Amino acid sequence: MTAKEKAESWLEQDIDLDFKAGIEKLLNDNEQELTESFYKDLEFGTGGLRGIMGVGSNRMNKYTVGMATQGLSNYLLKAFPGKEVKVAIAHDSRNNSRFFAETTAAVFSANGIKVYLFEELRPTPELSFAIRELGCQSGVVLTASHNPKEYNGYKAYWDDGAQVTPPHDQNIIEEVQAITSLEEINFKANMNLIIPLGNDMDEKYLEAITALAIDPTGIKKEHDLNIVYSSIHGTGITLVPKTLQRLGFTNVNVVKEQEEPNGNFPTVVYPNPEEAEALTLALKMANDTNADILMATDPDADRVGIAAKGKSGSFELMTGNQMVSLMAYYTLTKRKELGSLNTSTQYMIKTIVTTNLFDAICADFKVPCYNTLTGFKYIAAIIKDLEGPNQFIGGGEESYGYMPSAVTRDKDAVATCALIAEMAADAKAQGKTLWNLLDDIYLKYGVWYDNMRSVTRKGIKGAEEISNKMKELRKTPPTHLGGSKVVMIKDYQLSKERNLETGEEKNLDYPVSNVLQFFTKEGSKISARPSGTEPKIKFYFSLTSKADSKEDVDNTLEKLKENVEEIVKDLGLNQW
């Protein structure tokens, strides 16, 4: 069907009057928006839904959320026959998130599924925790993470508290796609099956994550560490300050202008702690109050951005790669000092596009480091496979996500804020900042410069451009990048690794994914990956070189930055 035909077919179904009026307005007044809204169905991908809110089959609304939930309900009832099926539902501060959460609860309960619905907005990691705590078979969180305010999303979880992975993801997708009419969605809620979740679950979660403190000594000594925290109008405000205070920190200062949850995110362009702009108010407060550390979480509080005093005395933002490297180094160093490091059972995990400095640190401590595809569901899958005598002691990714333990099975900004604060307190007790610690790491393991460039291409045309760029890189891969010869290519879509010097090929033992990686003779790693949740293609640059002294670290970093700009030109990104 054309977009127009699909819109007209929706008008013939039993939908709300205001929704009907919205479709009619598109049919009469806005052909381009009509096309974008109905040219396809909002795809239920391997992680769920994410899209712009509005009327249409390609938009987040009551009916697309209802369709997703009906499909998930159908699959759950097939996957767990004869059992009482239970799910947990949480939501963030976005516009319509509460409405979508209640819609989701209505459909689940209408299908005879018991629902635990958080009474108010809560961080995504608490949902992951609640699923396992309550013995649920599944869960859903309504969030679009750090996307712009026009977006919302629907993330589906399985009984281990992780986002769904094969075969369940594909089976759910098939069930959702099997629904061909809105009349197949049962919206008639059974209120007897919907149970509110409140402070009791908060307490259990807080107890679990505050117990993760590796070494409270630094906290006791530097309990008045000057911490600036911003929730960027999101869910972190419900638990992050409380967690820090329970750990013993007595000087936690919240950015008041961003304290109130608000789906319009009025003080920022994008509610993304990866972006310096989103931290403008927090940075001002940190500099004005002579703070020690700044932390900011995204709307659903699964990612955290930080800044610390640099060598100039002003606050400087740290990248996700620097953060995960620091946290891995701190965790392993402290555990070794305290005698709680066991190299035969403990392990860490990172994603393939995250800095290899993480691997180098793990290797030095003789702790296994597993690599996996982007997405914490893959980290959680490894944890599930290794459960038993083995202990996961930390993992993360370059995009500001970290998991300090297996208490939650998704990235957890609440627990991460606790670990960062502990780490900063320990550094201060030694007369150091986090930047000083990073210099120590660079001198020991080599200077690593990791950067990411993303190119946004929206709509139908944008999707084609991104697809064509990946085809171009596969058809005509670069032979040199940044003046260094490309010696190896990994294509995760073909599950192949090719050594260009020997011609040898071998299979990659990863799930199929649209990712390309190029490795150079100088040790650089360059990755290309279309985003699975945003209209973007991302390029990751990971370069390394040795520095002989602390004074030489900055010069080495500058040279590596210049090299990245050469690689950007080699890939044609400066003209695209």
Whether residue 409 is found in the same domain as residue 454? no
Whether residue 168 is found in the same domain as residue 251? no
Which of the four pLDDT bands, split at 50, 70 and 90, describes residue 312? confident
Residue 389 forms part of a structural domain: yes
The answer to whether the pTM exceeds 0.85 is: yes
474 pLDDT above the threshold of 80: yes
Question: What does the pLDDT average to over 283-288?
Answer: 95
Per annotation, catalytic residue among 93, 109, 138, 145: 145
Whether residue 508 is found in the same domain as residue 556? yes
Number of residues assigned to the chain: 576
Question: What does the pLDDT average to over 69-78?
Answer: 98
Q: Over the stretch 552-564, which tens digit does the pLDDT of each residue have?
A: 999 999 999 999 9
Distance in angstroms (rounded) separating the CA atoms of residues 76 and 79: 5
Which of the four pLDDT bands, split at 50, 70 and 90, describes residue 460? confident
Whether residue 347 is found in the same domain as residue 489? no
Q: Would you state the pLDDT for residue 486?
A: 97
47 pLDDT above the threshold of 80: no
Give the chain's domain count: 3
Task: Determine whether 399 is an active site residue.
Answer: no
Name which residue leads in pLDDT, 228 or 314. Answer: 228
Question: What does the pLDDT average to over 155-165?
Answer: 96
Whether residue 440 is found in the same domain as residue 556? no
Distance in angstroms (rounded) separating the CA atoms of residues 129 and 162: 9
What mean pLDDT value characterizes the chain? Answer: 95
281 and 264 Cβ atoms separated by less than 8 Å: no
459 pLDDT above the threshold of 90: no
418 and 209 Cβ atoms separated by less than 8 Å: yes
Distance in angstroms (rounded) separating the CA atoms of residues 57 and 38: 5
Domain's final residue, options 401, 423, 445: 445
Neighbour order of strands in the sheet with 194-197: 48-52, 151-158, 138-142, 86-91, 114-118, 194-197
Whether residue 431 is found in the same domain as residue 323? yes
168 pLDDT above the threshold of 90: yes
Residue 53 domain boundaries: 40-197
Whether residue 463 is found in the same domain as residue 479? yes
67: domain CATH number is 3.40.120.10
533 pLDDT above the threshold of 80: no
Q: Would you state the pLDDT for residue 532?
A: 73
Residue 193 forms part of a structural domain: yes
What is the sign of the dihedral through the CA atoms of 70, 73, 77 and 79? positive
Q: Would you state the pLDDT for residue 310?
A: 86
Q: Would you state the pLDDT for residue 506?
A: 95
* H or E, element range at 197: strand 194-197
322 pLDDT above the threshold of 90: yes
Number of H helices and number of E strands within the chain? 18, 23
Whether residue 462 is found in the same domain as residue 400? no
- CB neighbours of 294 closer than 8 A, spacing ≥ 6? 227, 228, 229, 230, 279, 282, 283, 285, 286, 306, 307, 308, 315
Residue 555 forms part of a structural domain: yes
166 pLDDT above the threshold of 90: no
Q: Would you state the pLDDT for residue 576?
A: 77
Residue 112 forms part of a structural domain: yes
* Neighbour tally for 330: CB within 10 Å: 24
Residue 32 forms part of a structural domain: no
Whether residue 193 is found in the same domain as residue 320? no
Of 571, 386, 322, nearest to 469 (Cα)?
571
409 and 310 Cβ atoms separated by less than 8 Å: no
Residue 352, token pair as written in the block: 């393939």
Q: Over the stretch 98-120, which tens digit does the pLDDT of each residue have?
A: 999 999 999 999 999 999 999 99
Which of the four pLDDT bands, split at 50, 70 and 90, describes residue 86? very high
For the chain, give the percent of residues with pLDDT over 90: 90
Whether residue 159 is found in the same domain as residue 224? no
Residue 61 forms part of a structural domain: yes
Residue 17 forms part of a structural domain: no
Residue 215 forms part of a structural domain: yes
Domain's final residue, options 197, 224, 252: 197
Domain's final residue, options 419, 445, 471: 445
138 pLDDT above the threshold of 90: yes
Whether residue 510 is found in the same domain as residue 559? yes
Whether residue 487 is found in the same domain as residue 568? yes
Mean pLDDT lowest among 22-31, 241-250, 293-302: 22-31
Distance in angstroms (rounded) separating the CA atoms of residues 97 and 492: 34
